[in-house]
């Protein structure tokens, strides 16, 4: 009887397990089908065969969140936390504005910047140029903000008319670069960070070894910021028909102007010539309707948004058999497989190979927006680009806001390099760091002891003091990697190694300066790079399709991402930074970046230039 009972329990457990498995599978399949149905319904509602209305409409450009090359925000985080900002694709904006320029159905461009965040001066400059080209077609551009941050106003100032809310303001405070230095805190904790570097301007490791900015870093930062600020001043002054002195007066003597205006921030901006008129939201709608000749009773003006416009014009285009592939290298360069938002050597190389082996793809454009990272990973990617060129396919580099250190290393594997005048590039230098936790462990009463078969078997154990001989070996390897970097640049740019060394040593340059130094072939944006790629591949204008290969995502996750992305599209996220939140975000980003330090030799070529943020 007892034996029968045991057998019965085993059968019951097996049946229960089988039923649970079947029931779980049923739920997964049911949920998947439900999600597909919901996604299809949402897609039908949001894009029901989008067309551009006849009779003349405005292209409404209303970017939200950070301006990026490739949208990387995890939609799940968007749902769970309002702290996660949205992102707007710069290539999408450029494509829409370029197409609208010659589209007779689009009568004007309306720019609303209230939710636009940071993105790098070069990105804003490229978008500004696209809007300026739209104006050159004779179509007007109207811009409005409830208030303007510095980056928002830089973009809006290119418009024919700039409107401001009656209680708004225009914030122009200049550029600054301040780092947090950890040496004092590390000393109190007893942690020692050993820094090995080649290039006196390679400042990435200095926050861990100093309490202040080095003289070299201060000199280089001042020179770079002065150049970039001069570009901002000149661009705004030209658009608003101001003299540089009038612009400087607003920035430097703001308090006196505010006193004269009895604290009216909006009046100060108008008196300075930065805005054309004040308008409430309803007055703004009325003004645009006047421009469109729209006499309807509808409160809103006739318009089409960027996403709908792109869906419409892409549907109207006949795909060409020839293609140019744009591969986006955005974020830190690291070893292995990585998700969008960082450049994994293995995953990015796979994209390059797939494009190289695709017979329809006639040329590649590598769009770089990266401060660098692992020297090892950078070289793997550079070599794959070189192999693509050897296979007969042209490769062009297009630098966005930032293509420095490892980002520049990658660019040397291409046929031509394009950079925006305000791109941050160069930073040709190498460093390595090693932390020593032996002292704080000792103060806690912890000791480390053991045996090894060779003197350096446990050389890179952070629990033990760094052996001076190992430190010397690390410095030698850093210097070797630096020479290797110089050789690669010299070969790619057809320069002498000594000549490269003089403009290297970790120095960060603007795209304009890099062009004059021979590190960049041309100043220009993505459109110029695509034109060059077509020329190298002997493709006729408009006889090719531009594709944007991305890393493959499992179908289920892709569906969920699209679903949640649609659900969170209309979140109203303020673009004006709150100081406390900004500090937390920066600190969180710094901590998160530690996971990318995976170079197998612990040798890095990374730029401490914060993505060229603006």
pLDDT in tens, 100-116: 999 999 999 999 999 99
Question: Which 3-state string (H, E, C) describes 535-570?
Answer: HHCCCCCCCCEEECCCCCCCHHHHHHHHHHHHHCCC
Q: Answer yes or no: is pLDDT of 3 > 80.
A: no
**Of these residues, 89, 374, 405, 510, which one is catalytic?**
405
Query: Is the residue at 537 inside a domain?
Result: yes
Mean pLDDT of 449-477: 88
Nearest C-alpha neighbor of 426 from the set 409, 439, 443, 448: 409
pLDDT digits (tens, 9 = 90+) for 416-462: 999 999 999 999 999 888 888 988 988 889 888 899 888 888 888 88
The whole domain housing 529 covers 318-446+458-577+597-612
Query: Is the residue at 184 inside a domain?
Result: no
Nearest C-alpha neighbor of 605 from the set 470, 434, 461, 403: 403
Question: What CATH number does the domain containing 341 carry?
Answer: 3.90.226.10
Q: What are phi and psi of 319, to 5 degrees?
A: -60, 135
Is the domain of 299 the same as that of 379?
no
Is the domain of 474 the same as that of 533?
yes
Taking the model in full, what pTM does it have? 0.84
Is the domain of 280 the same as that of 352?
no
Query: Is the residue at 353 inside a domain?
Result: yes
**Of these residues, 192, 202, 362, 513, which one is catalytic?**
202
Query: Is the residue at 440 inside a domain?
Result: yes
Query: Is the residue at 162 inside a domain?
Result: yes
User: What is the enclosing helix (H) or strand (E) of 133?
Assistant: helix 121-136
User: What is the enclosing helix (H) or strand (E) of 287?
Assistant: helix 281-292
Q: Is 81 a catalytic residue?
A: no
For residue 426, list its beta bridge partners.
404, 508
- Distances 522 to 412, 509, 516, 526 between C-alpha atoms, Å: 14, 14, 9, 12
Is the domain of 308 the same as that of 334?
no
Q: Is 139 a catalytic residue?
A: no
Give the count of domains, the chain: 2
Is the domain of 284 the same as that of 384?
no
pLDDT digits (tens, 9 = 90+) for 348-374: 999 999 999 999 999 999 999 999 999
Is the domain of 488 the same as that of 378?
yes
pLDDT digits (tens, 9 = 90+) for 264-303: 999 999 999 999 999 999 999 999 999 998 877 777 888 9
Is the domain of 283 the same as that of 395?
no
Is the domain of 294 the same as that of 412?
no
Question: From the centroid of its chain, how far is CA 549?
Answer: 17
Least confident of 70-74, 101-105, 127-131: 70-74
Is the domain of 367 the same as that of 426?
yes
Is the domain of 437 the same as that of 297?
no
Question: From the centroid of its chain, how far is CA 158?
Answer: 23
Reported confidence tier of residue 567, pLDDT bands at 50, 70, 90: very low
Query: Is the residue at 13 inside a domain?
Result: no
User: What is the enclosing helix (H) or strand (E) of 20?
Assistant: helix 2-46
Least confident of 118-132, 337-351, 382-396: 337-351
Reported confidence tier of residue 574, pLDDT bands at 50, 70, 90: very low
Query: Is the residue at 536 inside a domain?
Result: yes
Is the domain of 428 the same as that of 306?
no
């Amino acid at each position: 009887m007892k034996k029968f009972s045991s057998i019965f329990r085993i059968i019951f457990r097996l049946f229960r397990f089988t039923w649970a498995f079947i029931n779980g599978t049923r739920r997964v399949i049911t949920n998947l089908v439900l999600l597909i149905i919901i996604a299809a319904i949402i897609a039908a509602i949001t894009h029901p065969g989008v067309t551009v209305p006849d009779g003349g409409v405005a292209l409404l450009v209303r970017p939200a969140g950070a301006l990026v090359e490739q949208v990387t925000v995890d939609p799940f985080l968007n749902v769970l936390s309002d702290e996660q900002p949205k992102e707007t694709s710069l290539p999408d904006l450029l494509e829409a504005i370029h197409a609208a320029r010659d589209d007779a159905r689009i009568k004007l461009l309306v720019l609303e910047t209230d939710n636009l965040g940071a993105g790098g001066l070069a990105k804003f400059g490229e978008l500004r140029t696209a809007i300026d080209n739209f104006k050159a077609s004779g179509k007007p551009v109207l811009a409005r903000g409830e208030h303007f941050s510095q980056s928002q106003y830089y973009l809006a100032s290119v418009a024919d008319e700039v409107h401001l809310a009656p209680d708004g303001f225009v914030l122009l405070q200049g550029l600054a670069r301040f780092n947090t230095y950890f040496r004092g805190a590390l000393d109190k904790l007893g942690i020692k960070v050993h820094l090995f570097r080649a290039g006196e301007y390679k400042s990435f490791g200095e926050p861990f070894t100093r309490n202040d900015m080095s003289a070299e870093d201060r000199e280089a930062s001042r020179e770079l910021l002065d150049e970039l600020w001069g570009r901002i001043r000149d661009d705004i002054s030209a658009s608003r028909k101001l003299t540089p002195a009038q612009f400087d007066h607003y920035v430097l003597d703001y308090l006196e102007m505010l006193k004269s205006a009895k604290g009216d921030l909006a009046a100060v901006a108008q008196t300075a010539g930065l805005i054309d008129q004040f308008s409430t939201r309803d007055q703004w709608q009325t003004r645009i309707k006047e421009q469109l000749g729209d006499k309807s009773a509808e409160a809103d003006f006739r318009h089409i948004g960027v996403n709908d416009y792109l869906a419409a014009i892409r549907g109207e285009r006949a795909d060409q058999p020839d293609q140019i592939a744009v591969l986006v290298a955005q974020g830190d360069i690291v070893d292995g497989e990585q998700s969008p938002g960082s450049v994994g050597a293995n995953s990015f190389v796979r994209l390059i190979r797939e494009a190289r082996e695709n017979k329809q793809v006639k040329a590649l454009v590598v769009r770089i927006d990266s401060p660098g990272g692992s020297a090892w990973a950078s070289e793997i990617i550079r070599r794959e680009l070189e192999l693509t060129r050897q296979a007969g396919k042209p490769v062009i580099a297009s630098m966005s806001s930032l293509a420095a250190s490892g980002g520049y290393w990658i660019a040397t594997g291409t046929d031509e390099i394009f950079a925006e005048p305000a791109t941050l590039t160069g930073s040709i230098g190498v460093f390595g760091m090693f932390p020593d936790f032996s002292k704080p462990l000792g103060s806690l009463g912890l000791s480390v002891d053991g045996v090894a078969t060779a003197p350096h078997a446990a050389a890179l154990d952070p629990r033990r003091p760094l052996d001076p001989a190992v430190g010397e070996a690390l410095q030698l390897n850093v210097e070797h990697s630096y020479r290797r970097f110089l050789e690669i640049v010299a070969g790619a740019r057809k320069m002498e190694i000594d000549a490269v060394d003089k403009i290297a040593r970790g120095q960060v340059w603007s795209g304009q300066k890099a062009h004059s130094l021979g590190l960049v072939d041309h100043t220009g944006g993505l459109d110029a790079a695509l034109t060059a790629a077509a020329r190298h591949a002997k493709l006729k204008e408009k006889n090719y399709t531009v594709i944007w290969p991305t890393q493959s995502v499992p179908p289920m996750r892709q569906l969920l991402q699209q679903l949640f992305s649609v659900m969170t599209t209309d979140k109203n996220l303020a673009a004006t930074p709150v100081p406390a939140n900004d500090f937390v975000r920066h600190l969180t980003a710094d901590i998160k970046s530690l996971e990318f330090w995976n170079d197998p030799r612990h040798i890095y070529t990374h730029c401490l230039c914060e993505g060229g943020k603006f």
